[in-house]
């Protein structure tokens, strides 16, 4: 089945949903007890370990409640640790553990392989055009005003 749509938002949304389902299924089928959302958080922490939970919520575009649940799950699995900030006792700082690094390192080759499979019949020119179009869409969205009349602040 090859879904086609003339609606840009619908096509991007459907593609995003399908990719998420495919990656989550592939992680489970390869005995990686990880979801795409968990993988993303681990990857962020690998780059920027010891990040404030509020900043992590902003980067991942998750509300605080949903991120707290996600971090609780990662903490239960021993993949991250949460520490109270020395400067502000209300803030929590999230760190990736050595087990988290191990799990992330074992998932990275699979994610790379999945990305190759997903793009297997796209020519280099089509791929470049797609990235160019997506970058333009992102720039357009960032330059549009939100409902409140302010510029979008997504990083």
Q: Most distant CA pair in the chain: distance in Å? A: 54
- Number of domains observed in the structure of the chain: 2
Let me know whether 59 and 93 are in one domain.
Answer: yes
Q: Which domain holds residue 130?
A: 121-155
Let me know whether 85 and 41 are in one domain.
Answer: yes
Q: Is 125 helix (H, G, I), strand (E, B) or coil?
A: helix
Q: What is the mean pLDDT of each run of 10 residues along the chain (155 residues)?
A: 71 93 96 94 95 90 92 97 83 94 96 95 95 91 70 55
Angle at 33 between CA 12 and CA 28, to 5 degrees: 55
Let me know whether 57 and 127 are in one domain.
Answer: no
130 domain residue, yes or no: yes
Let me know whether 103 and 128 are in one domain.
Answer: no
Let me know whether 104 and 154 are in one domain.
Answer: no
57 domain residue, yes or no: yes
């Amino acid at each position: 089945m090859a879904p086609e749509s003339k609606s840009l938002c619908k096509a991007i949304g459907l593609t995003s949903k399908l990719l998420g389902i495919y990656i989550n299924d592939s992680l489970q089928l390869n005995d990686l007890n990880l979801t795409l959302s968990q993988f993303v958080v681990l990857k962020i922490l690998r780059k920027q370990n010891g990040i404030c939970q509020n900043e992590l919520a902003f980067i991942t575009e998750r509300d605080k409640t949903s991120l707290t649940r996600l971090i609780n799950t990662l903490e239960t699995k021993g993949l991250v640790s949460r520490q109270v900030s020395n400067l502000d006792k209300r803030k929590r700082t999230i760190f990736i553990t050595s087990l988290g690094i191990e799990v992330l390192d074992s998932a990275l080759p699979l994610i790379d392989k999945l990305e190759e499979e997903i793009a297997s019949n796209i020519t280099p020119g089509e791929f470049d055009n797609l990235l160019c179009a997506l970058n333009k869409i992102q720039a357009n969205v960032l330059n549009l005003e939100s409902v409140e009349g302010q510029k979008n602040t997504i990083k």
